[in-house]
Chains A and B, each alone.
Chain A
Amino acid sequence: MTTATEFQPKLLGIACNWCCYGGADLCGVSRFQYAPYIRLLRVMCSGRVDFSHIFRAFAGGLDGVFVGGCHINDCHYVTQGNYDAYALFQTCRRILEHIGLDPERLRLEWVSAGEGVRFAEIMNDYGARMRKRGPLGKAEGLDDAELRLRLQAVLRIVPYLRLVQAQRLQAPARTEEDCYRYFRTETFDRLCRELVLDVVTSSRILLELGAGPLPAAALSERLGLGPSDLARHLKRSANLGLVRYDMNRGGYWAA
């Protein structure tokens, strides 16, 4: 029995109607017991899951997000949305890592409507891990304000993320092994870094500057970035016409 003081993670689960949600149902039908941390939300296809859902959940202070879909090639729809869910998952994990959150907090599993036992096993394992991991942010040594800013930086570029995700970050071919292989490649790492993570940082910079101009020193301190990295980002943002340097005032402005 758990004591009141013990940390109880609050987890969101997004399950596709045809497989994972069914698996969770069967799990219930079969009376397999698991820790009561998760709250399931039903979508028709795991391909419906979006950046905004995941990062809003974290922004809302939830300690973990679980996404459950049909096994690869078993998607109920010819759109095979679970490939997209997988790609999204890969990107989001890297973003989480990038903004200093444990990527384990986001979990994706394929659970068929027949895998009641498996659903319970996953829930127990995930629940235990998250309980050990501790509360979002605190466990990672971030104070609430900082945590909010970082997630904010991601949320404000969701439209952009959707675009690159759809056009640049998909696996080349829709076969199981191709897909799994691709997301382990250098290529994907590079693309992800350049097209997503850097932009997240820029987004964060703009957030900081939103309040008013800041000298480089202050920026590098707040973002915990080395001068050279910072310079790179600022240059990039400047080229995009997002920020400009004001000689007289000696600070960076949001354009």
Chain B
Amino acid sequence: MEPLAPFPETIEEIREAGGDVYRLCYQCGKCDAVCPWNDVRKFSIRRIIRQASFGLTEVESEDIWRCTTCGRCPQECPRGVQQIRLGVALRRIASRYEVFPASARSARAVRAGLRLEGNPLDEERRRRADWAQGLPVKPFTEGTKILYFACCYPSYDPRLRKAAAATARLLHRAGLDFGILGERESCCGESVRKTGAEDLFRSLARENIKTFIDHGVTRIVVSSPHCYHTFKNEYSEFMVRFEVLHVSQLLLELLEQGRLTVTRPYPKKVAYHDPCYLGRHNGIYDPPREILRRIPGLELIELPAARQESLCCGGGGGRIWMDAPKGERFADLRLAQAALVGAEELATCCPYCITMFEEAHKGADDDGGTAIRDVTEILEAAIFRT
């Protein structure tokens, strides 16, 4: 092999893109050992870090687009290397040069829609509130106490609209004063940022922040851990703070206060899946479980890799817009695990996870295997007559 010379220019470029955290790496390989990719194929984040440290990154390679930002490796890394930051930096550079491998093109494609319509699903902005038709949901106006920020998927995706609807009914049943911003709101921008589209993220964020401020929003309840993460941890980059609640936190609060009471048994074996951005990234493991525990007849079971070690659904880091070939889908593994522990239903509370799982479910040959549920849907069933 022809020896390669370190490439200072690229090293500098990565540093500017905020990715020089690699320098702390002492190559112990712990990141590879915990990376979910290695359950389905050979993939070495350690090698990516190593290449970056010599400026030898192959910017056009598929590999820099694999990371689902699930947060396993940074959590385990003994040297405090922030692999996600590095990954994003590399994608920024790729974006700057407009080099996208086949698998990443779809992730790039969503940018147009986000720029124009504020959502990655190629839907019209004006239809963003359609999901709420016929539901006890009012538009958010000055003075409304809580903003329910439904996130793009629950707003448009037929499957996830169920979750949004469930949430709305529950909040209303609890007598909360909440509203939605509908077409005035835009995607939180979390995932597109992870694909390296920094400017797009910033413009989306600014729009939302402006809207929030204009409407006097102070308290936001979100369905998506990704929105939660962005509002809580990333909008602060814009010098604003909002009180953000994940729907599971709010609902548990309401149950505890007795403003919601569970009336009907739900006699099922339910396994709970920790979404990366709710669990590892934000340390929220128990509220969803607590809700499920409060439902009579429901038997809550744990999956092999739970809590801190939860297996990613594969939808993070913009992967939700990319295709993983059959046999390389984490969601398939997760469903298999659920089946293994004998779960009748797989519950979670992240639109991405549900999307990925439903796809895997459709793909699964054994029809009517484990059903996929949002925690809010289960709670709804346990409270409302249907």
Q: Do chains A and B touch in the complex (CB under 8 A)?
A: no
A interface, CB within 8 angstroms of B: none
> Which B residues have a C-beta under 8 Å from some C-beta of A?
none
